[in-house]
């Protein structure tokens, strides 16, 4: 009886996978403000970045953006106009159906990374600005409207 109960529970929870590999999620949710004070490589975002975080030139301003995000485009245009100093890395947050023209063209000189594409996408506000110090620690996080972005 106990064995049947355990087997039934295992099946109900989906623990009986034939290939013993966990199913990849179809979406991910992030709370960027929780990353402040953490090393970039230790954040919940790091495993989702194609190629990893080691290519980010430090110190850095990292901006998470979506291709069709008007606020992101406005922010990039303001950065280009104000000629902000320091390394800039843009990280694309892909949408499940991403066919709009990219606002990335409005950004000043930058490096570019992307998150893995998920069928239902990501729950994260854009733009999200991360300031990362020479040691790789996130010293400031700002999400959404970034008119008062730190210099």
3-state secondary structure string, the chain? CHHHHHHHHHHHCCCCCCCCCCCCCCCEECCHHHHCCCEHHHCCCHHHECCCCCCCCCCEEEEEECCCCHHHHHHHHHHHHHCCCCEEEEEECCCCCCCCCCHHHHCCCCEEEEECCCCCCEECCCCEEEEECCCCEEEEEEECCCCCCCC
Whether 3 shows a pLDDT value over 90: the answer reads no
- The rounded percent of the chain whose pLDDT value lies above 70 is 79
Q: For the segment 24-51, what is each residue's pLDDT rounded down to a tens digit? A: 688 899 999 999 999 999 999 999 999 9
Q: For the segment 65-85, what is each residue's pLDDT rounded down to a tens digit? A: 999 999 999 999 999 898 777
Give pTM, 2 decimals. 0.79
The tokens for 6 are 């355990």
For 2, other C-beta atoms within 10 Å of its C-beta total 6
Whether 149 shows a pLDDT value over 60: the answer reads no
């Amino acid at each position: 009886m106990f064995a049947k109960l355990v087997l039934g529970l295992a099946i109900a929870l989906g623990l009986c996978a034939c290939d013993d590999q966990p199913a990849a999620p179809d979406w991910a949710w992030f709370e960027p403000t929780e990353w402040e004070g953490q090393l970039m490589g230790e954040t919940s975002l790091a495993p989702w970045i194609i190629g990893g975080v080691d290519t980010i030139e430090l110190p850095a301003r990292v901006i998470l953006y979506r291709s069709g995000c008007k606020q992101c485009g406005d922010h990039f245009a303001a950065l280009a106009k104000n000629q902000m100093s320091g390394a800039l890395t843009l990280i694309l947050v892909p949408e499940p159906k991403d066919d709009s023209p990219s606002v990335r063209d409005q950004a000043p000189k930058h490096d570019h990374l992307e998150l893995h594409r998920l069928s239902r996408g990501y729950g994260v506000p854009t733009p999200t600005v991360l300031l990362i110090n020479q040691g790789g620690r996130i010293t400031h996080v700002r999400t959404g409207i970034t008119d008062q972005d730190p210099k």
